[in-house]
């Protein structure tokens, strides 16, 4: 009796194929068409993947530059921070640029040497040891006016910054504070406000340390977008391009910093886009059409 009950129970259990057979019976599609339709989802996914792969090949997309840039950036962050270029180094570079008839580069260098690096609105992160002021890092803002560019300090005279380079900032602070404090130890980090625009994750204006690589500044803006072309990165100052795609490609490869590119507040970094067939737009149109065709074939 137990065996009979067991066998009858097994007979009541539905076969895994039962729902599929009932569906075929209801819609009368127990044909080769139904079997083909069952394979459509896998086939469609495989086709889409093949199209995307072909699109990348056709567009010549290369992720090597982005990966290499990231590795160089990681190495720069992990290693010692770069030093700012000194007045003697800038003068030597300017002389070499003039001899090589690189007038644009020579002008940038001579402008730095004459006017200094600091603009009104720049920020400087300052900390003083061995004193009762600025014992924690404080952000000071460069002021302008008739007296020129300067930093206002509590209960002290203003610190003038006209003609001062970033490499000279800490010593200027130390010399100025030395009039009020005995042997102060000063740590000063200049921050530059630059724009990162174009094909990046979060375009906008950013305050960044001047001694970090150009690649790190782009990463602060969310990194290159999916359609970014790192061979088309340019740096503008107003309406003038001071560094074109060829220059910035070398700068990214060599890990050059904002200071080494002679950038100042207000400069714009623009990441260009790749040109090619709009595969994403095409697929967004084609996939719904294919879905409609498949649906009609099922219910025909």
Domain boundaries, the chain: 87-190
Check residues 31 and 269 and name the one with the higher pLDDT: 269
β-pairing, 185-198 vs 268-273, is: parallel
Ordered alpha helix ranges (H), the chain: 2-12, 18-27, 32-38, 40-59, 64-78, 87-99, 103-115, 169-177, 214-220, 245-254, 279-299
Average pLDDT along the chain: 76
Local confidence band at 194 (pLDDT 50, 70, 90 cut-offs) = very high
pLDDT digits (tens, 9 = 90+) for 218-257: 999 999 998 889 999 999 999 999 999 999 999 999 999 9
pLDDT digits (tens, 9 = 90+) for 154-178: 888 999 999 999 999 999 999 998 8
State the pLDDT at residue 26.
Answer: 39
pLDDT digits (tens, 9 = 90+) for 63-116: 333 333 333 333 333 333 457 899 999 999 999 999 999 998 999 999 999 999
Nearest to 212 by CA among 174, 269, 128, 270: 269
pLDDT digits (tens, 9 = 90+) for 128-157: 887 777 878 889 999 998 889 999 988 889
Query: What average pLDDT does this structure show over 22-39?
Result: 45
Mention every residue, 6+ apart, whose C-beta is less than 8 A from residue 188. Answer: 124, 125, 126, 169, 170, 173
Global confidence as pTM: 0.61
Count of residues making up the chain: 300
How many angstroms separate the CA atoms of 219 and 215, rounded? Answer: 6
State the pLDDT at residue 13.
Answer: 47
Local confidence band at 196 (pLDDT 50, 70, 90 cut-offs) = very high
DSSP 102-170: -HHHHHHHHHHHHH-S--TT-EEEEEEESSSSS-S-EEEE-B-STT-SEE--TTS--EE-TT--GGGHH
Q: Which two tokens stand for residue 159?
A: 């610190």
- The burial of 190, by beta-carbon neighbours within 10 Å (0-12 exposed, 13-18 middle, 19 or more buried), is given as buried
State the pLDDT at residue 276.
Answer: 62
pLDDT digits (tens, 9 = 90+) for 45-76: 444 444 444 444 333 333 333 333 333 333 33
How many angstroms separate the CA atoms of 198 and 208, rounded? Answer: 18
Residue 40 pLDDT more than 50? no
- Contact between residue 140 and residue 124 where contact means Cβ atoms under 8 Å apart: yes
Local confidence band at 300 (pLDDT 50, 70, 90 cut-offs) = low
State the pLDDT at residue 254.
Answer: 92
State the pLDDT at residue 113.
Answer: 95
């Amino acid at each position: 009796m137990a065996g009979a009950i067991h066998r009858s129970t097994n007979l009541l259990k539905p076969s895994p194929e039962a729902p599929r057979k009932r569906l075929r019976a209801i819609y009368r599609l127990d044909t080769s068409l139904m079997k083909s339709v069952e394979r459509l989802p896998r086939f469609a996914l495989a086709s889409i993947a093949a199209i995307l792969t072909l699109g990348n090949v056709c567009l010549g997309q290369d992720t090597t530059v982005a990966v290499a840039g990231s590795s160089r950036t990681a190495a720069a962050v992990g290693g010692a921070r770069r030093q700012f270029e000194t007045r003697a180094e800038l003068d030597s570079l300017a002389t070499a640029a003039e001899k090589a008839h690189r007038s644009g580069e020579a002008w940038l260098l001579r402008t730095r040497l004459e006017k200094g690096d600091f603009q009104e609105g720049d920020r400087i992160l300052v900390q003083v040891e061995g004193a009762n002021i600025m014992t924690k890092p404080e952000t000071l803002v460069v002021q302008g006016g008739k007296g020129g560019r300067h930093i206002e300090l509590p209960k002290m005279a203003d610190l003038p910054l006209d003609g001062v380079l970033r490499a000279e900032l800490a010593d200027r602070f130390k010399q100025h504070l030395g009039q009020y404090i005995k042997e102060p130890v000063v740590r000063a980090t200049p921050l530059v406000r630059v724009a990162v625009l174009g094909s990046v994750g979060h375009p906008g204006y950013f305050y960044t340390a001047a001694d970090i690589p150009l690649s790190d500044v782009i990463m602060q803006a969310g990194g290159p977008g999916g359609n970014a072309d790192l061979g088309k990165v340019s740096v503008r100052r107003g309406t003038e391009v001071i560094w074109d795609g060829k220059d910035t490609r070398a700068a990214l490869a060599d890990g050059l910093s904002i200071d080494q590119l002679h950038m100042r507040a207000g400069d714009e970094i623009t990441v260009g886009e790749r040109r090619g067939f709009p595969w994403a737009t095409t697929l967004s149109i084609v996939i719904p059409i294919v879905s409609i065709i498949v649906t009609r074939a099922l219910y025909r």
